Structure 1
Amino acid sequence: MILFPKTEQFYEEELTKCLQKEQYGEAVSMLTFLLQFPSADQQKTEQWQALLNWLQTMQPETVFPALSSQVDEEEEEEDLLRQMVEEKSTVDAAFVEKLLGMLRAGSMDQQLAALEQLAFVQRGPVAEIRSWLRQGPRHPHLQFKALQALKHMGETGSIDFVKNGNHIVVDIEETPLSSEEFPGQIRDMIRRVEEISEMRQPDFAFFAKQTWQEFLSYAYGTPIYVELLTQEDGVIDIWASALHTALQEQLFGTANREELQDIYGIVDSMEGSWNNAYKVLRRHLDTILLGGR
């Protein structure tokens, strides 16, 4: 089988559209199709395989249909979840207690699912979730989901707990519920990566956005998050270029650090801050891509 250049370009454009529209199932099907062609450029084949592996890690519902709710994709996910929770609460008096049981003793995936559903329970179990969050160390992603659940329930005020080895205090009402609710400076960091990668590697922006969202849930409320919000010169370019470099190394095995630093405008005075940001991001990437999510 031969994949001609114009045909490859067409599929690349369609793949980029799928990722931009978050049509991950179609992206998986297209990547599986493209990987059937042994005549494709080796570097391009490696990029396709890396993207497919990433989708399998970050969007498991796209490759394991049994985990996906069979719903109209055009409907809003949040509205569907709220509707489902309301219906189950009506027909099953023990529904909330079952979710709390999953939260207390389930696997990480079960705990995430429980928090996502508890967020839409009318007069939700605020005290139970507060208590669970403060009990011992939890995975940072679970902790962030718990804060979001409490905010969905209308809870306000501060809460203290241990995260990433630090004792932190956060205001529940300040918790972002979406990427657009994070402070502008943090949003500018990922936009900078998207801007740089748009001309060089259009599909790389997808990897970067997913990774950045995972990282923010890991960092939220910690000293690392405070550092992201500092007004020091170049902080946006420092974190954006460190993310670009670390992620490119993780996905493709190599990255030209000097070239990327030059593109992002990293000068000698920023080198120390850049190295610190890079180490933090590499540690996080090593964790999530080795199954520690």
Structure 2
Amino acid sequence: MRNSNSPAKENIVLFPKTLDYYQIQLTVMLESERYGEAIGLLRFLLQCQGQEERHYEEWQSLLDWLEAAFPYASEGEYVGESPAHEEDMGAQEMARQMAKAKLQEDADYANKLLRRVMDEPLSEATLLALEQLSFFEGEEVDYALTDWVQKAGIHPILQFRTLQTLRRRGVQGAVELKRGSENVVVEIEQVPLQNDDFPPQVAQVLERVAEQTETHEPTLYYFAQELWGQFMMSIYGSEAYYSILTGEDGVLDLWAGALHQTVSETLNGTRNEEETRTMYGITESMRFPFEQAYRMLNSFAGRPL
């Protein structure tokens, strides 16, 4: 149930693509620590009509946590630093203090968060639970997450976010992940915590897409950025991931072309593979790996092949 203090929903209806856009915006705001903007967007979304109840519950849960963890953001005073009388307490310390307070209220709170992560499908609520678990003390959480993340059948994004949580908690060492038929070994202390932490070859794929789209098709480039960031999380540590890190021009070109093609079809509903291949200089000899990359991106995006 939503908080009784939630604002009444106004006569605003979000279409599916509009909802997707706002969900992406919310993710970007949280990843870039723009908590004040995220709070404002959540308040707006809670006023909209026609969404599934689970969306409202997830938005309210996230809003409640953000307002408690970053109170000055909710008052419009948050500018990336704590106010003067709390300048020694950064955002992470505030979140850690909040976690401690939650445990004092409910000794089983950390276990409840673990159950949410492990038993519920990927959603904003599960990602929020992982974010909160970053700040709980105790090796029990480390052991539970380390054991669970190595099991089969976990959504790759949730898998990656769990690795980020483990790194934030200071866990070190290797874990073996199951990705379909592929087993992937990852060093926790090397897991990127933000987009800039990925090797430069990852950004070089986007740079190629930007050269072709940023001026004439900015919407395509925007969604390409979001899809590529999520896709990198999902293939982190895999053979495909390391093939990109070779940095070979032909490899980066074919991934850029596949990304462009996937997003273009998603937005426009049309397929013009020959034009895309020409645009990115993908020769006939590279056609098969291009089509493999395209299929991987389409599968991740949930599009039919």
TM-score normalised to the size of structure 2?
A: 0.70
1:203, CA displacement in angstroms? 2.2
**Alignment partner, residue 116 of structure 1:** 131
Alpha-carbon offset, residue 53 of structure 1: 4.8
Distance 2:21 2:249 in 1: 35
Shift of residue 205, structure 1, vs aligned partner:
1.6
Q: In the alignment, what sits opposite 1:227?
A: 243
Q: Tell me, what secondary structure is at the counterpart of 1:128? A: helix
Pair 1:106-2:109 in alignment: no
**Code of the aligned partner of 2:179:** K
> For residues 115 and 50 of structure 1, do their structure 2 counterparts lie closer, same or farther at Cα, with a shift above 3 Å needed?
closer
Structure 2: distance between partners of 1:234 and 1:224? 14
Query: Is structure 2 residue 299 aligned with structure 1 residue 283?
Result: yes
1:274 deviation in Å?
1.1
Counterpart-to-counterpart distance in 1, 2:93 and 2:24: 23
| 1:262 Cα offset (Å) | 1.9
Alignment of 1:118-267 (within 5 A): 118-123=133-138, 125-267=141-283
Matched, 1:52 2:33: no
Out of 45, 49, 55, which is 1:64 matched to?
45
Distance, in Å, in 2 between the alignment partners of 1:222 and 1:106 is 25
User: Do 2:113 and 2:129's aligned partners in 1 also have CA atoms closer than 8 Å?
Assistant: yes
CA distance in 1, matches of 2:110, 2:227: 32
- 1:113 positional shift: 1.9
2:101 to 85, 90, 106: 90
In 2: Cα distance, 1:105 partner to 1:81 partner? 27
Query: Secondary structure of 1:196's partner?
Result: helix
Q: Is the 8 A contact 1:151 1:175 kept in 2?
A: yes
- Provide the C-alpha distance between the structure 2 equivalents of 1:146 and 1:226, rounded to a whole number of angstroms: 21
1:259 to 1:286, Cα distance in 2 relative to 1, 3 A: same
Change (3 A) 1:75 1:126: farther
Aligned residues: 242
Deviation at 1:260, TM superposition (A): 2.3
CA-to-aligned-CA distance 1:219-243 (integer Å, 9 cap, x gap): 1122221222234441111101110
Q: CA deviation at 1:85?
A: 4.2
- Cα RMSD (Å) of the superposition? 2.9
Structure 1 residues 107 and 137, CA gap change in structure 2 (3 angstroms): closer
Determine the C-alpha separation between the residues in 2 that align with 1:278 and 1:237: 12
Higher relative contact order (CA 8 A, sep 6+): 1
Shift in Å, 1:75: 4.5
Contact 1:129/1:150 (<8 A) preserved? yes
Q: Tell me, which stretches of 5 or more residues in structure 2 are unaligned?
A: 1-11, 27-37, 47-55, 68-72, 82-89
Structure 1's unaligned 5+ residue stretches are 1-31, 36-48
Deviation at 1:96, TM superposition (A): 2.0
Q: CA deviation at 1:208?
A: 0.6
Question: CA 1:99–1:211 in structure 2 vs 1: closer, same or farther (change >3 Å)?
Answer: same
Q: Taking structure 1 as reference, are residues 187 and 156 closer, same or farther at Cα in structure 2, changes over 3 Å only?
A: same
Alpha-carbon distance, 1:80 to partner: 4.5
8 Å CA contact 1:140–1:164 kept in 2: the answer is: no
If the length of structure 1 is used for normalisation, what is the TM-score?
Answer: 0.72
**Cα distance 1:190–1:97, how it changes in 2: closer, same or farther (>3 A)?**
same
